[in-house]
Amino acid sequence: MRFGAIISVILLFSCVKVTEHYRLKEGSNRSPVVLIPGDGGSQVEARLNKTSAVHYICEKTSSGFFNIWLNLELLVPVVIDCWIDNMKLIYDNVTRRTSNQDGVEIRIPGWGDPFVVEYLDPSKASPGSYFKDIGNMLVTELGYIRNVSLRGAPYDFRKGPSESEEFFVKLKSLIEETYTMNNNEPVTLIAHSMGGPMSLIFLQRQTQKWKDKYISSLISLAAVWGGSVKALKVFAIGDDLGTYVLRQSILKDEQITSPSLGWLLPSKLFWKENEVLVQTEQKNYTLLDLQQFFTDINVPNGWEFRKDNEQFQLNFAAPGTEIHCLHGVEIDTVERLYYKPGTSIDGSPQLIPGDGDGTVNLRSLEGCLHWQGKQKQKIYHKGFPGIDHMNILKNTSILDYIKNVLTRAII
């Protein structure tokens, strides 16, 4: 999830060398891999042709497309105002669609290329590494070839599944193409965070015959199967992306325009309707009070995003593929927002913790267990104490597990 800690600390640049293999190890016949990112897990490019700007230092035009996410040079005080104005979406509650700001053209580069999900910053700056460690392990240790047996499926993570039809169509073609390029070996999907439920929606739409032919397994890492209370926190006060130099209240202006954030709100399938999610001196808010909560914090579109995408949460049919459901546990994760007496709903709440991976609540991470007995394909589940939402992408125990799955030495 983008509101997890994507940028590690202060904006430091350190380049990482990547070693390429140019042929698979002889006789490996291993399942090719498609990496499916989560919220904030794809590079984003923008082209500007604006008539006005929010600040005199902001560029109004650009000669071509440039990297806007993750571009560390744009995520600094003052300049961040330009970035927010270029990244935030405009929502039309009649068409139920979003659009970019006037004069801003956004595109997601590198379809099929794992590089754009291995590194969010094209310069390979260390804070922008994402699937990098998994990609390097597959290439250097198992002989995978980038753009042949290792692919990437980036998408516009700002938008919810209600606006992602093109992605699901393209993903099917990418999997079929990758299957053909690799001697008709079924494909393994490795999905992180929001990429987990995106993969689920995709698999639910395919016939069992198609899945039996083209899919080997789904490896989900910290999947947000049933939403997260942290999404409520972001709507209320924003998130600083794990940096010490950016204020969450400033970043909130962009974050609350993303329909995907409304999709990631706690699901009715995993939270009781009368469970208090936000506690104030005057009123407690449950799932039944979300519309009023968004009205009270002056983010009415949050409720619209929820309405547009909740159907995708409530359809929780089993994926019909072998699944390896991996996630962290035993890390404080916000379970409830508590506004102390005398604190208004416009203020900063105390974050009451529960179990999870620091970003996603345990009940959501364990959502894959609901499919036990509901599909014939095996479901493997494992919680890893102390591995947080982002470190799961580079933890050696996780890398070893993935390696064992792909060499069919399943744990």
Which residues belong to the active site? Answer: 193, 357, 389
**138: nearest Cα among 400, 408, 324:** 400
CA–CA dist 210, 203 (Å, integer)? 10
- Residue 310, φ and ψ in degrees, nearest 5: -65, -30
E runs forming strands in 108-180:
150-152
**DSSP annotation string for 4-29:** S--S-SS-----------SSPPTT--
- Residue 387, φ and ψ in degrees, nearest 5: -95, 115
CA–CA dist 381, 368 (Å, integer)? 8
CA–CA dist 250, 258 (Å, integer)? 15
The number of helices, as runs of H, and strands, as runs of E, in the chain is 13, 15
DSSP reduced 3-state for 122? coil
In Å, what is the CA distance from 253 to each residue of 82, 165, 239, 247, 369? 12, 26, 10, 11, 36
Determine the angle formed by the axes of helices 229-237 and 248-255, rounding to 10 degrees.
110
CA–CA dist 19, 132 (Å, integer)? 11
Lookup: tokens for 154 = 């980036």
Interacting residues of 342 by C-beta distance below 8 A, sequence separation 6+: 281
Interacting residues of 155 by C-beta distance below 8 A, sequence separation 6+: 37, 42, 108, 164, 167, 198
Residue 81, Cβ density class (10 Å: 0-12 exposed, 13-18 middle, ≥19 buried): middle
Lookup: tokens for 315 = 């359809």
CA–CA dist 28, 26 (Å, integer)? 6
